Each structure stands twice: as structure tokens, then as C-alpha cells.
């Protein structure tokens, strides 16, 4: 694992987009693992800019998103599906049939099967070439919340009080934040050939300190990235301030 510290959010976003572009130039049919949240918004903006300047082509790219709330419709503005369409999919030439978003309805009869099928699709696509990650204030990646043990594959998860509180800024009240989500497991993430974790701002500094202090624990899920041979932690000075 390599930690790269940059000045600010803008530089983080530009460098992240440059790494994605490099990946696509090396392999134009790359499989990208994509993240949501406020952190990667700048990276998506940069990628859209590059696409508009005809510097990037997404027509042969396949994508798998990390996670999604359970109980929000795809059209709900806070669903990760809506986020991805708004910030990325609808702005570039990615083929709709190559977009994969995990999705679990509240009354799904067999959630375990939906999760297994998602993992199988990732496998059939040849695995993820580059996985983008943000990080939660409690060190979560995707929706892998701190826990004594963590599932390897995609699963249905109950969100922690900290995450509900942190994500309530996108909803009108904490009560509106869904209590459950579907997320890729840490195995699905760690099997990616390359991982790029982004973080910006002082609020992420404790999570960054606890994740990359030389110890691994499922109580700080991002700490597992220290075991990955090709992971880059690209963070700004504020996020790095407690390292």
C-alpha cells in the first residue's frame, strides 16, 4: 500500500481521475469498481471533462458499484443509483448494459441469492481492475461497518448509528436515512487488482490515522487495505493531518 498526500480536494480529484484515465489507457475494457459519496464527486467531474475533450472513451468499460441503500427507489435523489447517473453515467458514453449496481428491495425473498449473483457477475466480468473507495468517519469502506468479523462477499448490512448520523446530511432528518444497505464485502474489494482510496478534509483524519497505523482489524475496515499489494491511498493534507 502506498500513501500519497496532496494539497487539497481539487488536487486529489485531478490525480484520482488521472489514475482512472491511466487504467483505461492500459486496458480499454477495464472493469471499474465505483464508489459514491461527496468524496469522489470531484473525480467524476474531472473524468467527465476528459471525456468531453475526447481524451477518454468509456464505451468498452464495465462498472460495478460498491453499495446501495435498501428501501430507496432508484429514482430517489439519495439513492446511489441516482447519484451515479447524475454525476457520471449520464455524462459519458458508458453502455447501459455494462453498468452494474447492487440492488435489494425491502421485501426481497432471498437476499443471499441477490448478493451471490452480484459476486458471480463480478467474477464473470474477470474481476475488478480498479476499485475506487471513499472512507466513512468510522473507517468503513463501501458499507462494511466496523465489526468483530466481516463477510467476504456481497451482503445485506445494518448501518451503524455513526453512519446514519454522518449520512443524514443528505436527507432532511436522520430518521429518513435507510437502516440497511447492500454492500460488496471486504473480499470482493480486496480481490480487485488495484485499489484507490480517496479522503479529504479534517473530519476523515481520525479514520485515516486508525486505518493506516500498521495494524489491521475488522473494527476499522479500511485498515485491511494495508494488506493489498497494489493499493493507493490518495488523501489531502487535512485528511492526513493525524498520520
Q: Which residues are catalytic?
A: 67, 138, 140, 145
Work out whether 66 is an interface residue with ligand GLP (CB under 6 A).
Answer: yes
Q: Minimum distance between the CB of residue 59 and ligand GLP, rounded to whole angstroms?
A: 26
Q: Minimum distance between the CB of residue 187 and ligand GLP, rounded to whole angstroms?
A: 16
Residues 194-223 that bind ligand GLP (CB under 6 A): none
Work out whether 132 is an interface residue with ligand GLP (CB under 6 A).
Answer: no
Residue among 38, 74, 93, 105 that touches ligand GLP (CB under 6 A)? 38
Nearest-angstrom CA–CA distance, 188 and 65: 11
User: CB neighbours (10 Å) of residue 243?
Assistant: 14
Interface region with ligand GLP, contact rule CB under 6 A, candidates 87-95, 123-131, 132-140, 209-217: 132-140
Q: Minimum distance between the CB of residue 99 and ligand GLP, rounded to whole angstroms?
A: 17
Contact code string over 160-189 relative to ligand GLP, x by CB under 6 A: ---x---x----------------------
Contact residues for ligand GLP, defined by CB under 6 A? 35-39, 66-67, 134-136, 142-143, 163, 167
Amino acid at each position: 500500500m502506498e500513501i500519497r498526500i496532496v494539497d487539497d480536494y481539487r488536487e486529489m480529484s485531478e490525480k484520482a481521475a488521472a489514475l482512472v484515465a491511466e487504467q483505461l489507457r492500459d486496458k480499454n475494457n477495464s472493469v471499474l469498481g465505483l464508489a459514491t459519496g461527496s468524496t469522489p464527486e470531484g473525480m467524476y467531474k474531472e473524468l467527465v471533462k476528459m471525456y468531453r475533450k475526447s481524451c477518454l472513451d468509456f464505451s468498452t468499460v464495465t462498472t460495478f458499484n460498491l453499495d446501495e441503500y435498501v428501501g430507496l427507489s432508484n429514482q430517489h435523489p439519495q439513492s446511489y443509483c441516482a447519484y451515479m447517473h447524475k454525476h457520471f453515467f449520464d455524462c459519458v458514453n458508458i453502455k447501459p448494459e455494462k453498468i452494474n449496481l447492487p440492488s435489494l428491495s425491502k421485501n426481497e425473498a432471498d437476499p443471499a441469492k441477490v448478493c451471490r449473483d452480484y459476486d458471480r457477475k463480478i467474477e464473470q466480468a474477470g474481476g475488478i481492475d480498479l476499485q475506487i473507495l471513499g472512507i466513512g468517519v468510522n473507517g468503513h469502506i463501501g458499507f462494511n461497518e466496523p465489526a468483530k468479523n466481516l463477510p467476504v462477499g456481497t451482503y445485506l448490512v445494518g448501518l451503524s448509528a455513526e453512519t446514519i448520523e454522518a449520512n443524514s446530511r443528505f436527507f432532511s432528518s436522520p430518521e429518513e436515512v435507510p437502516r440497511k444497505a447492500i454492500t460488496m464485502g471486504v473480499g470482493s474489494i480486496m480481490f480487485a487488482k488495484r485499489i484507490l482510496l480517496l479522503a479529504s478534509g479534517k473530519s476523515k483524519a481520525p479514520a485515516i490515522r486508525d486505518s493506516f497505523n500498521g495494524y489491521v482489524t475488522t473494527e476499522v475496515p479500511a485498515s485491511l487495505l494495508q494488506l493489498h499489494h497494489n493499493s493507493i491511498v490518495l488523501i489531502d493534507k487535512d485528511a492526513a493531518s493525524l498520520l
